[in-house]
Amino acid sequence: MTRPDIFYEPPKGEKSGLPHDPFKSFVIPRPIGWISTTSSTGQDNLAPFSQFTNVSFDPPTIMFVGHQSVYKRESKDSVVNARQTGEFVWNMATFDTREAMNASALESWNDEFPIAGVTKAPSRVVKPPRVAESPVQLECKVHSIVRIQGDSLVGHSDIVIGRVVAIHVKGEYITPDGLFDVLKAAPLARLGYHQYTAIREVFDMKMPFMYNDTVSGNTLGGEKGASDAELYATKDNRPLEEKQQEELERMQGTVTKRN
């Protein structure tokens, strides 16, 4: 039997009425921020975060979100270490490392690397070690940390933004034509509830761009784009109405040449 549609307003304290909160199962799949840090006293830490993404690519910038620790009654160790030392490393979690990633989620007072059974690899620019079993690692310097106050202890969140200062990619995961082999790596992603998935299929679908935009598509495809100076030198300064009319005519196939 089909359930009725659901509508509820969280700010009013309303719930979905379902057995499990569905919110985190909507924004999926989410890459996993498998973050390694080193404390100000020298102890290493490893933990996964399911709120993780890239922020920018020029320069490369990423972010992860650490929710307040209910066990320790304070910010997650990864956040504390990143705040105190200004450094962290992102390690790609894959299907093959799924058990180690999950084991490292334990909020231990000790180093989680041996708990997860993974090997430490020295970083080149920052102090925190990398996960040697991971196919890709990003060494990062903290750009900023933003605090989001929650409605409960676990709801308090710290958004850690980091500039990528060094990138490691294992050669065995580079295809003959120079692309990262996503299917071989099978990156792990978080769904809702206790569910995960791994990338097993890829397909191409190019975004549409305006006829005179020869930069955006290549840049998003990982190629080098034009400089800001070049782009601003060719900026279309015509009135908005004129540009809108030309766009309409171009879509209709009736565009006329303008001086």
pLDDT digits (tens, 9 = 90+) for 48-76: 999 999 999 889 999 999 988 877 888 89
Residue 259: predicted pLDDT: 47
What's domain 22-198's superfamily in CATH? Electron Transport, Fmn-binding Protein; Chain A (2.30.110.10)
**According to the model, what pLDDT value does residue 3 have?**
87
Task: Look at 23-27, 117-121, 136-140, 213-217 and tell me which has the smallest mean pLDDT.
Answer: 213-217
Tell me what the mean pLDDT of segment 124-134 comes to: 98
Cα-to-chain-centroid distance, residue 72 = 26
What distance in Å separates the CA atoms of residue 67 and residue 22, rounded to the nearest whole number?
18
pLDDT for the residue numbered 142:
98
Q: Give the C-alpha distances (Å, rounded to integers) separating 245 from 45, 164, 178, 208.
A: 58, 42, 42, 19
At residue 43 the predicted structure's pLDDT band, cuts being 50, 70 and 90, is: very high
Mean pLDDT of 92-103: 97
CATH 2.30.110.10 in the chain: give the residue spans: 22-198
Q: Helix, strand, or coil here: 130?
A: strand
Give the Cα separation of 116 and 77 in Å (integer).
16
The per-residue pLDDT for 162 is 98
Average per-residue pLDDT for the chain: 90
On the question of pLDDT at 79 being above 90, the answer is: yes
Does residue 222 have a pLDDT over 80?
no
Q: What is the pTM of this model?
A: 0.85
Nearest to 161 by CA among 82, 44, 105, 48: 82
> Is 152's pLDDT higher than 90?
no
pLDDT for 221? 65
Percent of the chain with pLDDT strictly greater than 90: 61
| Spatial contact of 61 and 143, defined as CB atoms under 8 Å apart | yes
Average pLDDT (136-146) is: 98
* Range in 8-12, 38-42, 154-158 the model is least confident about: 154-158
Q: According to the model, what pLDDT value does residue 88 have?
A: 98
Q: What tokens appear for 7 in the block?
A: 């509508």
Cα distances from 226 to residues 30, 127, 156, 211, in angstroms, run 31, 35, 41, 16
